Chains A and B, each alone.
Chain A
Amino acid sequence: GAVVSQHPSWVICKSGTSVKIECRSLDFQATTMFWYRQFPKQSLMLMATSNEGSKATYEQGVEKDKFLINHASLTLSTLTVTSAHPEDSSFYICSASRLAEAKNIQYFGAGTRLSVL
């Protein structure tokens, strides 16, 4: 159990377009979902924490109007990169914590590679 599906796995888009990434917990309800960004050879950087039905909490330096997060249900969170630019090219990964598990374990999606031309 504890499978997190992330879609799409790879996106190539033109500068100025918006890209939507979905994160789904397939076999469990997620209390909280997290969005990370990882540049090559660097650590995962937490962008925002998302709880179902409430506004996401963004980390310092992350523009909430640039990275729109919607957490409509206990199994789905979406990240929209608005008006993407080449500097937004990165590996975006989501993770989820189980509602029924108070151990703070995160289950990760497979990630989305975004390349903005």
Chain B
Amino acid sequence: RKEVEQDPGPFNVPEGATVAFNCTYSNSASQSFFWYRQDCRKEPKLLMSVYSSGNEDGRFTAQLNRASQYISLLIRDSKLSDSATYLCVGWGKLQFGAGTQVVVTP
């Protein structure tokens, strides 16, 4: 089993809608988690960090569920510019998930 697993998607989301997806992890020693977004053929860019139960930044909300070992990312009021692949990673063992592709459509 991979240490970090993500639903690859794609999640096709109408503009203005809400989308949420999870990332499950197997390494319970990971203390902090991060969501990055990666545009096609570009480097990952930090979106949010999650150190405790959750974090909110504008339209983005990340939740950490240690009991069930997953982190989630919710995007409200989706914009066309939110179209990207979203990668999660846990610190401790630097394993990135394969990413969840989000496609926001007009």
Tell me which of B34, B45, B49, B96 contacts A43 (CB under 8 A). B96
Tell me the dominant secondary structure on chain B's binding face: loop
Chain B CB within 10 A, most for which of A41, A49, A110: A41
Which partner residue on chain B sits nearest A6 by CB separation?
Answer: B43
Residues of A within 8 A of B91 (CB): 104
Tell me how many residue pairs across A and B have CB atoms closer than 8 Å: 45
List A residues 50-71 near B (Cβ within 8 Å). Answer: none
Minimum Cβ distance to chain B for residue A36 (Å): 8
**Total interface residues on A, using CB and 8 Å?**
22
What are the interface flags for B6-33 relative to A under an 8 Å C-beta threshold, 1 for contact and 0 otherwise?
A: 0000000000000000000000000010
Which partner residue on chain A sits nearest B46 by CB separation?
Answer: A105
Whole-angstrom CA separation of A46 from B46 in the bound complex: 17
Beyond A34-B94, A44-B96, is A105–B87 a contact (Cβ under 8 Å)?
no
Q: Pick 14 A–B contacts, CB within 8 A, sort by A.
A: A42-B98, A43-B95, A44-B87, A46-B94, A49-B94, A103-B49, A104-B32, A104-B34, A104-B91, A105-B34, A106-B34, A107-B46, A110-B43, A111-B42
Instruction: Enumerate chain A interface residues (CB-CB to B < 8 A).
Output: 6, 34, 36, 41-46, 49, 91, 93, 103-111, 113
